[in-house]
Amino acid sequence: MTSRLVLRMFLMISCLCPSFQQEPPFVYNGFDQAGNNLHLDGGARILPHGGALQLTNDTLRQMGHAFLQQPIDYNSSEPVSFSTHFVCALLPAGYASGHGMAFVVSQSTDFSHAEPTRFFGIFNTSSNESTPARVLAIELDTSLAPELKDISDNHVGIDVDSAVSKLSANASYFSDKEGRSIEIKLLSGDPIQVWVDYQGTTLNVTLAPLKTEKPSRPLLSSASINLTEIVQGRRMFFGFSGATGSIMSYQYVLGWSFSKTMATLQSIDISKLPKVDHPSNKHESSPLVLDALLSLIACLVLGLLVGVYMYRRNLYAEVREEWEKEYGPLRYSYKSLYKATKGFSKNEFLGRGGFGEVYRGTLSKSREVAVKRVSHEGEEGMKQFVAEIVCMRSLKHRSLVPLLGYCRRKRELLLVSEYMPNGSLDHYLFDHSITSLPWWRRLAIVKDIASALSYLHTEADQVVIHRDIKAANVMLDAEFNGRLGDFGMSRLYDRGADPTTTAAVGTVGYMAPELITMGPSTGTDVYAFGVFLLEVTCGRRPVESTLSAEKRFLVTWVCDCWRRSCLVDAKDPRLIEFSSGEVERVLKLGLLCANLVPDARPTMEQVVQYVNGNMALPEFWPHSPGIGVLTPMALSPARLTIPSPSLSSSSNNSMFVTHSVVYGSGR
Ligand SMILES: *[C@@H]1O[C@H](CO)[C@@H](O)[C@H](O)[C@H]1NC(C)=O
Ligand SMILES: *[C@@H]1O[C@H](CO)[C@@H](O)[C@H](O)[C@H]1NC(C)=O
Ligand SMILES: *[C@@H]1O[C@H](CO)[C@@H](O)[C@H](O)[C@H]1NC(C)=O
Ligand SMILES: *[C@@H]1O[C@H](CO)[C@@H](O)[C@H](O)[C@H]1NC(C)=O
Ligand SMILES: *[C@@H]1O[C@H](CO)[C@@H](O)[C@H](O)[C@H]1NC(C)=O
Ligand SMILES: *[C@@H]1O[C@H](CO)[C@@H](O)[C@H](O)[C@H]1NC(C)=O
Ligand SMILES: *[C@@H]1O[C@H](CO)[C@@H](O)[C@H](O)[C@H]1NC(C)=O
């Protein structure tokens, strides 16, 4: 009963005893359980997670000591010897880091006289043989101190009483596999294994990287170390010391095994060792490269973004001027047109007219429009043209193709008008692969166009001359009603030019002779309308160069037929059901309108009356003056290039005329 109580009390006392000393041999795989056994001072501390023993951090002129609480006593009958194995890691804290750490055997743990920096927190400047520090140190030195006779900034040394090493060597290990020494970088941050063995008077120091067996050859071996002499007795403290100066490193001990004899030394379990934050020396060694790389990437990304922005800006670039403000509501953004036409894609291409390419577009709310791109050199006259175009928007007639708005870009004008689902009339007349239109429909279209042209000539606020009446400019809506389009377009090409050159704009075969000398007038529109009547009825172009001489020119041929009293034979052979009276009336009206003498032509108001049968045609004959006579231009279209509008400085004009010549001379 009493013995139990005594045992209990003994256990309690021994547990409470703060200076409980773990006798060697011992091993620490991390120091989280070693707190009570170690005496720490300076910057030394055991890190909370994993238990790495940190001797120094990135504080200037710092010392850190970690010693066994109790000294180890050697009794008089046992030899003074020890074997130790520890794993340490030195991490750089900056581009040049120091100073290093040491394994220390010391007379006392009082280092109040010691200095940091190259003295490792154990020696001072006056430590030498005459004033000995009573210390044996194995230094892992990472800075070069020439006054201490250091051999390099990466060496291991045996120090006795002084920071001037008794023996030192560049850090390396002997690889038994390769049979040679391999350098070790102490300050790499990688864990390093160190073995220190002392027996008799021989002290061996061996290094190796982690996961490498202890090399058979030590790095340092000194045969003249008398430890009892150094520490002045058989009682000695074992531990570690580290120091920083103006250069710093994080210095850690991760595991420690210690024994009085080599045979009883326990091995360290590497897998249980704490990890320390590796400052990834790859990044450390190449911050400039990394910075450069990052800046390069940033530049590339920025460049790409700017490129995309510039591309889009350029893609959607428009020309907008002050005077256009009043037309604001009519202005379409290029971006919206670009999107509506799917980037002016081939699938949306409707056709090529004399003035540009036409595309189908779908604006928001699934509204279909036709977008015509008109190339245009220079800005001169543009203001007037846009003003006219916009003015034409006020023209309201059911047989006109409504203009919805416009957009301007550099060298380009875009006109947005209502989409005509059935395309232009010329396809139905000249393309024999398409079912031709019956007579009643052709007549209805002729009436539509006559009424529209009459409106332009008389009913609009000011006289509007179309200048380019032809089947190709007559559009068909969903119900096949004729709609006159493209009015005013030729205006774009005669701005500010000499009237004599101006005059020739139009399409060969439809151009009245006086255009050259007088310029466009309602009379020239009537002439073109006359040719239009003939082509609608006969289903052929005004000039077909492939046909025989007597048939080649529509006007003369129709007149010939009349002269031979078989006028109806001139009609389109594809017409089956028709009224001969109506066909004859329309053909005669065509010839009347295409009279060579301007004054002999009817006005559009009269034409509307004639075409509707409200008024009888005037009396005239195939041999009446001016009837069935060709315009000089139609006779020799090649000559047209000389007085052509190409003289008016625009390259588009010559392009246009070339096109017209090709058109006029038949396809
Ligand atoms: C470095 O160690 C000193 C002394 O232990 C401590 O006061 C300081 O806070 C530590 N610095 C850092 C950054 O941990
Ligand atoms: C000295 O220590 C050894 C082992 O530590 C022990 O075996 C021996 O008995 C001790 N001798 C004396 C005189 O205490
Ligand atoms: C040792 O240091 C003391 C004090 O600095 C000095 O007086 C002495 O000459 C030194 N001795 C040797 C051998 O360097
Ligand atoms: C250097 O350290 C020794 C003991 O190691 C001490 O006696 C001496 O006073 C110290 N010298 C200076 C200058 O601190
Ligand atoms: C130690 O390394 C340094 C450079 O790293 C070299 O200059 C020096 O010669 C080496 N010393 C020995 C003893 O190998
Ligand atoms: C020290 O190293 C030498 C050479 O390898 C070896 O012969 C000796 O036994 C070692 N001594 C100790 C105490 O490890
Ligand atoms: C070490 O030094 C002490 C005292 O100077 C001496 O008694 C002892 O014999 C020496 N030991 C060896 C192994 O030389």
Tell me, what CATH number does 509's domain have?
A: 1.10.510.10
Q: Given a cut of 70, is residue 82 above it in pLDDT?
A: yes
- Whether ligand 7 lies within 6 angstroms of the CB of 125 is answered as no
Q: How far does residue 491's CA lie from ligand 2's centre (Å)?
A: 124
Of 40, 57, 248, which is best to mutate to test ligand 1, by the most ligand atoms within 8 angstroms of its C-beta?
Answer: 57
Confirm whether residue 372 is marked as ligand binding. yes
Domain of 405, CATH number, reads 3.30.200.20
Q: How far does residue 126's CA lie from ligand 4's centre (Å)?
A: 6
Ligand 1, atom 14: closest residue by C-alpha? 57
Residue 312 lies in a domain: no
Q: How far does residue 110's CA lie from ligand 4's centre (Å)?
A: 11
Taking alpha carbons only, the member of 120, 126, 87 closest to residue 102 is: 120
Would you call 368 helix, strand, or coil by DSSP?
strand
Is 392 in the same domain as 454? no
**65, 39 contact by CB (below 8 A):** yes
Of 72, 73, 74, 78, which is best to mutate to test ligand 2, by the most ligand atoms within 8 angstroms of its C-beta?
Answer: 78
What pLDDT score does 93 carry?
Answer: 81
Residue 291 lies in a domain: no
Would you call 355 helix, strand, or coil by DSSP?
coil
Band the pLDDT of 378: cuts 50, 70, 90: low
Question: Which of the ligands is closest to the CA of residue 72?
Answer: 2
The region of weakest confidence among 222-226, 317-321, 438-442 is 317-321
- Whether ligand 6 lies within 6 angstroms of the CB of 83 is answered as no
- Whether ligand 7 lies within 6 angstroms of the CB of 229 is answered as yes
Q: Is beta strand 53-56 parallel, antiparallel or unpaired with respect to 63-68?
A: unpaired
Q: Reply yes or no: is the peptide bond before residue 274 cis, omega within 30 of 0.
A: no
Ligand 5, atom 1: closest residue by C-alpha? 170
pLDDT, tens only, 123-157: 888 877 788 888 999 999 988 888 888 888 899 99
Integer CA distances (angstroms), 229 to 127, 134, 136, 236, in order: 16, 9, 10, 11
Q: Which of 268, 284, 303 is the last residue of a domain?
A: 268
What pLDDT score does 18 carry?
Answer: 42
Of 128, 147, 148, 162, which is best to mutate to test ligand 3, by the most ligand atoms within 8 angstroms of its C-beta?
Answer: 128
160 CB neighbour count, 10 Å cutoff: 23
Count of domains for the chain: 3
Ligand 7, atom 14: closest residue by C-alpha? 226
Average pLDDT value for residue range 404-427: 86
Question: Which of the ligands is closest to the CA of residue 161?
Answer: 4
What pLDDT score does 559 carry?
Answer: 92
Band the pLDDT of 22: cuts 50, 70, 90: low
Q: Given a cut of 90, is residue 532 above it in pLDDT?
A: yes
Which has more pLDDT, 157 or 628?
157
- Whether ligand 4 lies within 6 angstroms of the CB of 133 is answered as yes
Integer CA distances (angstroms), 143 to 115, 139, 471, in order: 15, 11, 96
Q: Given a cut of 80, is residue 10 above it in pLDDT?
A: no
What is the spatial distance between Cα 341 and Cα 442, in angstroms, rounded to a whole number?
Answer: 31
What pLDDT score does 434 carry?
Answer: 83
Rg (CA), the chain: 54
Task: Give bridge partners of residue 628 from the DSSP assignment.
Answer: none
- Whether ligand 6 lies within 6 angstroms of the CB of 204 is answered as yes
Ligand 5, atom 6: closest residue by C-alpha? 152
Q: How far does residue 152's CA lie from ligand 5's centre (Å)?
A: 6
Question: Which of the ligands is closest to the CA of residue 123?
Answer: 4
Top mean-pLDDT range of 134-148, 344-358, 483-497, 579-593? 579-593
What pLDDT score does 445 carry?
Answer: 95
What is the signed CA dihedral for 448, 453, 458, 463, rounded to 10 degrees?
Answer: 150
pLDDT, tens only, 52-75: 899 988 888 889 999 998 889 898
What is the spatial distance between Cα 373 and Cα 349, in angstroms, rounded to a whole number?
Answer: 11
**What percent of the chain has a predicted confidence (pLDDT) above 70?**
85
Ligand 4, atom 11: closest residue by C-alpha? 126
Ligand 1, atom 2: closest residue by C-alpha? 43
Residue ranges around ligand 1 (CB below 6 Å): 43, 45, 57, 59
Q: Which of 375, 398, 418 is the last residue of a domain?
A: 418
- Whether ligand 3 lies within 6 angstroms of the CB of 128 is answered as yes
Helix axes 439-454, 604-611, angle to 10 degrees: 150
- Whether ligand 3 lies within 6 angstroms of the CB of 124 is answered as no
Ligand 6, atom 4: closest residue by C-alpha? 217
Would you call 461 helix, strand, or coil by DSSP?
coil
Q: How far does residue 163's CA lie from ligand 3's centre (Å)?
A: 13
Q: Which of 224, 248, 268 is the last residue of a domain?
A: 268
What pLDDT score does 631 carry?
Answer: 64
Q: What's the token pair of residue 516?
A: 């050259």
What pLDDT score does 505 carry?
Answer: 58
Is 335 in the same domain as 260? no
Is 387 in the same domain as 498? no
Is 429 in the same domain as 390? no
Q: Given a cut of 60, is residue 648 above it in pLDDT?
A: no
What pLDDT score does 637 carry?
Answer: 44
Q: Given a cut of 60, is residue 493 above it in pLDDT?
A: no
Q: How far does residue 131's CA lie from ligand 3's centre (Å)?
A: 7
Is 558 in the same domain as 455? yes
Would you call 414 helix, strand, or coil by DSSP?
strand
Find the domain containing 259 and state its range.
41-268
The region of weakest confidence among 292-306, 568-582, 627-641 is 627-641
Residue 390 lies in a domain: yes
Q: Reply yes or no: is the peptide bond before residue 643 cis, omega within 30 of 0.
A: no
Q: Given a cut of 70, is residue 667 above it in pLDDT?
A: no
What pLDDT score does 490 carry?
Answer: 54
Band the pLDDT of 278: cuts 50, 70, 90: low
What pLDDT score does 643 carry?
Answer: 33
Please list the active-site residues.
Answer: 468
Average pLDDT value for residue range 278-295: 61
Average pLDDT value for residue range 87-112: 87
pLDDT, tens only, 190-203: 899 999 999 989 99
Average pLDDT value for residue range 108-134: 85
The identity of residue 472, as a single letter, is A
Q: Given a cut of 50, is residue 531 above it in pLDDT?
A: yes
Q: What's the token pair of residue 274?
A: 């704490």
What is the signed CA dihedral for 117, 123, 129, 132, rounded to 10 degrees?
Answer: 170
What pLDDT score does 462 carry?
Answer: 75
Would you call 26 helix, strand, or coil by DSSP?
strand
Band the pLDDT of 169: cuts 50, 70, 90: very high
Q: How far does residue 327's CA lie from ligand 2's centre (Å)?
A: 113
Of 134, 161, 229, which is best to mutate to test ligand 7, by the most ligand atoms within 8 angstroms of its C-beta?
Answer: 229
Residue 650 lies in a domain: no
**532, 542 contact by CB (below 8 A):** no
Is 120 in the same domain as 67? yes
Residue 398 lies in a domain: yes
Residue 550 lies in a domain: yes
Is 113 in the same domain as 66? yes
Residue 245 lies in a domain: yes
What does DSSP assign to residue 230?
H
Is 128 in the same domain as 259? yes
Is 430 in the same domain as 407? no
Q: Would the pTM count as exceeding 0.75?
A: no
- Whether ligand 7 lies within 6 angstroms of the CB of 226 is answered as yes
Of 23, 74, 77, which is best to mutate to test ligand 2, by the most ligand atoms within 8 angstroms of its C-beta?
Answer: 77
Residue 488 lies in a domain: yes
Domain of 87, CATH number, reads 2.60.120.200
Question: Which of the ligands is closest to the CA of residue 149?
Answer: 5
Longest dimension (CA), the chain: 159
Is 409 in the same domain as 502? no
The two counts, helices (H) then strands (E), for the chain are 18, 25
Q: Given a cut of 60, is residue 604 above it in pLDDT?
A: yes
Ligand 7, atom 2: closest residue by C-alpha? 229
Is 92 in the same domain as 147? yes
Per the prediction, the chain carries an average pLDDT of 81
Band the pLDDT of 13: cuts 50, 70, 90: very low
Q: How far does residue 193's CA lie from ligand 5's centre (Å)?
A: 21
Average pLDDT value for residue range 326-337: 81
What does DSSP assign to residue 379?
S
Average pLDDT value for residue range 338-363: 84
| Closest atom of ligand 2 relative to the 260 alpha carbon | 5
**411, 373 contact by CB (below 8 A):** no
Q: Given a cut of 90, is residue 410 above it in pLDDT?
A: no
Is 355 in the same domain as 455? no
Taking alpha carbons only, the member of 191, 332, 197, 308 closest to residue 253 is: 191
Question: Which of the ligands is closest to the CA of residue 63?
Answer: 1
Q: How far does residue 164's CA lie from ligand 1's centre (Å)?
A: 29
Ligand 7, atom 11: closest residue by C-alpha? 226
**What percent of the chain has a predicted confidence (pLDDT) above 90?**
29
Q: Given a cut of 50, is residue 249 above it in pLDDT?
A: yes
Q: Given a cut of 60, is residue 14 above it in pLDDT?
A: no
